Amino acid sequence: MATDEFKLISRYFAANAGDRADVILGIGDDCAFLKMQENQQLAVSMDNLVENVHFFAAAPPYYIGYKALAVSLSDMAAVGAEPAWVTAALTLTNAAAHGEKWIDEFCRGFFAQFACYDLQLVGGNTTRGSEINIATQLHGFLPQQQGLRRSGARVGDIICVTGSLGDAGMALQLVQKKLLAAVPSQITEDLWERLYCPPSRIDMGRALLSLASAAIDISDGLLADLGHILEQSGGVGATLEIDKLPLSPWLLECSGTDIASAQRLALGAGDDYELCFTVPTHLAEQVEILAREYKCSVTQIGVIDATPGLRIKQKNGALFAPTQQGYLHKW
Ligand code: ADP
Ligand code: MG
């Protein structure tokens, strides 16, 4: 079925956009007009997902849509912001826009979390191109003078992570194996979900505003992302205890007896979108209380110290050498 950008916009995007009182003018004009609340700062984050870089072209479009919003929500969580307004710039291929089944499913995933956070899609851009590229921008609110940053970690702070690490890395390995198999076996929904539907940490991020000294979301792998905290906190260092890394029962089951490979995934693989944050020791108990209140597991995995660099200690005291530092786009 032939379609054009305006049919797609009205049928799939304007129709599902949401309805917030602070949107003065939404989709349909040259700009959106948005009303800020007094005493709030605007937190803005943008991400794009590129076909065959951030997602497999063969992935079910529901999961691609879900991830397109989830990566931006994760950035909001990392600074402790309350998300509100969304813009989206889509480059769609013929295959994605024609027939419209793809875009229908994509939207089902993209809008899946809108009601949960009272989000509104207020504008965007839709173009045709040779590969799919989805850019999502999220605007959220932060109380004046507040906001978690990467730069506040101090020597003596404890290092914590939410949830479990390495699941997305394992799912990626399994999906890759199955896609490459001579006779591709079916990839289960469960596997796509582990790869493309990270848990949202928005509530936890907001609750950490008054406790954490620094925070980041783990998109490229724990070592890489914690490395950003260390660097931006004036070159402090960190010592992690490898046995404390939170590994899910599923990851352990997939890894069999090879726990070291599960630990490597937890340290170096990306796409988990959990939070990594630092807290002064005297607030550690407060974090535990929050974790219980928000039903979000939090694990203390190490401490910030004065010696620059990152050390990973094993139970016997020996240092663990990771093989992968994290994901980096290179040209
Ligand atoms: P302009 O040419 O002025 O940039 P467009 O004709 O591209 O505007 O878009 C028309 C309207 O539809 C604008 O309000 C734009 O923000 C909105 N829009 C375009 N694509 C999308 C999309 N994928 N999702 C939400 N709104 C969109
Ligand atoms: Mg215009």
DSSP 192-214: HHHHH-PPP-HHHHHHGGGT-SE
State the pLDDT at residue 100: 80
State the pLDDT at residue 164: 98
State the pLDDT at residue 234: 97
State the pLDDT at residue 1: 57
Would the pTM of this model clear 0.85, i.e. be above it?
yes
State the pLDDT at residue 102: 92
State the pLDDT at residue 60: 93
Q: What is the pLDDT of residues 133-164, one digit of tens each?
A: 999 999 999 999 999 999 999 999 999 999 99
State the pLDDT at residue 6: 87
How remote is the CA of residue 75 from the centroid of ligand 2, in Å?
A: 28
8 lines ligand 1 (CB under 6 A): no
Nearest ligand to the CA atom of 136: 1
State the pLDDT at residue 292: 96
Residue nearest to atom 1 of ligand 1 (CA): 30
Collect all residues with Cβ–Cβ distance below 8 Å to 12 and sequence separation of at least 6.
100, 103, 104, 107
Q: Which of 27, 72, 92 to mutate to test the pocket of ligand 1 (most atoms within 8 A of CB)?
A: 27
- Joined together, the tokens standing for residue 308 give 């620059």
DSSP string for 97-124: HSSSHHHHHHHHHHTTTHHHHT-EEEEE
Neighbours of ion ligand 2 (CB under 5 A): 30
Q: What is the pLDDT of residues 218-231, one digit of tens each?
A: 999 999 999 999 99
State the pLDDT at residue 94: 85
61 lines ligand 1 (CB under 6 A): no
Sites in the chain below the pLDDT cut of 70: 1-2, 98, 324-329
How remote is the CA of residue 29 from the centroid of ligand 1, in Å?
A: 7
